[in-house]
Structure 1
């Protein structure tokens, strides 16, 4: 099975094929992809990330170890923002400190929850279903997060999906679920 470097280098090297496939799909099936520079650059990032993303379910994978603290910080920060409204001490720094105390509990929950929720290696995360989920998330990021046009977001979606699928192909594990 390919390792971290092999997956990412494959993503880096094969991106022009993804661009060509999207171009063919646009030309012959009428899918309204838009190939703006920003869509192509973000598509490259999502494609390369996707080329190793299925390994986030392996506890020793670099991606797993890198994603886990990001999830913890994101959950902790979201809890902090909610907890800010729970305190009304006379000093603002006390409100901030108390809210971060609650946020830390959320971060710890995110840390341990990430491990608990992660399925076994080469399970459902190594599937075309999750490739489609990743593509959908890329579309939502483009449309609602970055306010890109529908065609640009569609392109992000196919680039993400194809990068993720590349990983599955390299692993020899192309399955629906």
Structure 2
């Protein structure tokens, strides 16, 4: 089976094929917009996707890299939702205690990430998860970054194709 370097370098090198495919689809009426920013963000999602299916392996670099991101995102989300809700008299103390709660949520997310992750080469190694990853990339670009729909569709397609590249390199393309 290919290793981390093989997956990521394959993503780095094969992105022009994804760009060509998207350009061809756009020429035939697909609502894809290949702006400079969409191409750059699409490249990031494509290359990340080229190793992302291995997040289900606890020893994989992508698993170890994704876990802290999930933890920080969970802690940040908790802080955002509780900011200003604790009143212990001093604003600095309120903020510090709110961050204690947020940090505890981050620690819980750290352990939940591995606990909830399915077995290696299970459902995460599927076209279903490739589609979920592409859909999340689209939502993040269109709604999170406020880019145009066509740009979001291109980034979502790039994410899907990068994730699918990993499955092809593993020789294991399955729907679920």
Q: Number of residues paired by the alignment?
A: 176
Report 1:18-29 matches (<5 A).
18-28=18-28
Instruction: Give 1:82's aligned residue.
Output: 81
Gaps of 5+ in 2: none
Instruction: Give 1:136's aligned residue.
Output: 135
1:91-133: per-residue Cα shift (whole Å, max 9, x none)?
Answer: 1111012111211221111111111111111000000000000
1:1-55: per-residue Cα shift (whole Å, max 9, x none)?
Answer: 0000000000011011001111121223x11111111111111111111000100
Instruction: Give 2:100's aligned residue.
Output: 101
Instruction: Give 1:58's aligned residue.
Output: 57
3-state SS of paired residue (2:84): helix
* Structure 2 residue 8 is matched with structure 1 residue 14: no
* Structure 2 residue 153 is matched with structure 1 residue 154: yes
**Residue 69 of structure 1: how far off its partner (Å):** 1.0
Structure 1-normalised TM-score? Answer: 0.96
Gaps of 5+ in 1: none
1:128-168: per-residue Cα shift (whole Å, max 9, x none)?
Answer: 00000011011101110111111111110111110000000
**Residue 70 of structure 1: how far off its partner (Å):** 1.2
**Residue 90 of structure 1: how far off its partner (Å):** 1.6
**Residue 85 of structure 1: how far off its partner (Å):** 3.2
